[in-house]
Chains A and B, each alone.
Chain A
Amino acid sequence: AQSVTQLGSHVSVSEGALVLLRCNYSSSVPPYLFWYVQYPNQGLQLLLKYTTGATLVKGINGFEAEFKKSETSFHLTKPSAHMSDAAEYFCAVRPSWGNMLTFGGGTRLMVKP
């Protein structure tokens, strides 16, 4: 069975500061990895995904994530936080042979002016 752990249910950063949201997964084989963002009262929006190839993946809104197999991690970063980045972020995995997404518990990002 796969599982996803997001360290820190709440993260607060100042506007312009680095954003780092952590995600670790457990899986017997490297899965497909995803980050989603959810704004209040909205559905989930795909930020970026890793399937194969380059381990540094760039997504929308200036976010990127790096797949590190040795650390079973897929942390999400953004060099400079913007007020509009305040939202809840979910890391998810999916086995390469399967279909369902397994989500982490989510991290609520707060951005202080």
Chain B
Amino acid sequence: GAGVSQSPSNKVTEKGKDVELRCDPISGHTALYWYRQSLGQGLEFLIYFQGNSAPDKSGLPSDRFSAERTGGSVSTLTIQRTQQEDSAVYLCASSLDGGGLAGTGQYFGPGTRLLVL
């Protein structure tokens, strides 16, 4: 079946503009995660959704970052007033469940490479 898909694959924007990044999880996966991968910081957790709710937003770096998920499926990560330090690869992952006992793996999409000029 189809894996996690993300769009756009690449995004170049000017400092101060808003951007929206989209993630389509694997069908049937109730948990969805956003991570950021940058040269200086490695892989960082941003936010976790279980269904449409986000019980863990602890990784969002500032209030310029927000995310939503609708219909228990597609998620959008929005970065307002982008800064150069926001340049990174934004990775989305999904899993069958969130916490719980199953310990299911998270399956990652190809990422969106964001460059803020």
Residues on A close to B: CB < 8 A? 32, 34, 36, 41-46, 49, 51-52, 90, 92, 94-106
Chain B residues 96 to 110 lying within 8 A of chain A, measured CB to CB, are 98-99, 101-103, 105-110
- Inter-chain contact A43/B110, CB cutoff 8 Å: yes
Q: Pick from A44, A45, A92 the residue with the most CB of B within 10 Å.
A: A44
Chain A nearest CB from B39 CB (Å) reads 11
Q: Pick from B31, B45, B59, B102 the residue with the most CB of A within 10 Å.
A: B45
Offer 23 A-B interface pairs, CB within 8 angstroms, sorted by A. A41-B110, A43-B108, A43-B111, A44-B91, A44-B108, A46-B106, A46-B107, A49-B103, A49-B105, A51-B103, A96-B101, A97-B99, A99-B50, A100-B45, A100-B48, A100-B56, A100-B59, A101-B33, A101-B35, A101-B43, A101-B45, A101-B106, A103-B43
Chain A nearest CB from B69 CB (Å) reads 14
- Inter-chain contact A102/B45, CB cutoff 8 Å: yes
Nearest B residue to A48 via CB reads B105
Interface size on B, residues (CB 8 A): 26
CA distance A72 to B107 in the complex (A): 25
Nearest B residue to A105 via CB reads B42
Is B77 an interface residue when CB atoms closer than 8 A count as contact? no
Rank and list the top 9 A-B pairs by shortest CB-CB distance, nearest first: A51-B103, A103-B43, A43-B108, A44-B108, A100-B45, A99-B98, A32-B103, A46-B105, A43-B110
**Chain B residues whose C-beta falls within 8 Å of the C-beta of A105 in the assembled complex:** 42
Is B26 an interface residue when CB atoms closer than 8 A count as contact? no
**Given A43-B109, A46-B107; A99-B42 close (CB under 8 Å):** no
Nearest B residue to A32 via CB reads B103
- Inter-chain contact A96/B103, CB cutoff 8 Å: yes
CA distance A44 to B58 in the complex (A): 22
Q: Which of A44, A49, A99, A104 contacts B56 (CB 8 A)?
A: A99
**Chain B residues whose C-beta falls within 8 Å of the C-beta of A44 in the assembled complex:** 91, 93, 108
A44-B108, A45-B108 given; 6 more Cβ-contact pairs under 8 Å: A34-B105, A36-B108, A42-B110, A97-B99, A100-B56, A105-B42
Q: Pick from B42, B45, B98, B105 the residue with the most CB of A within 10 Å.
A: B105
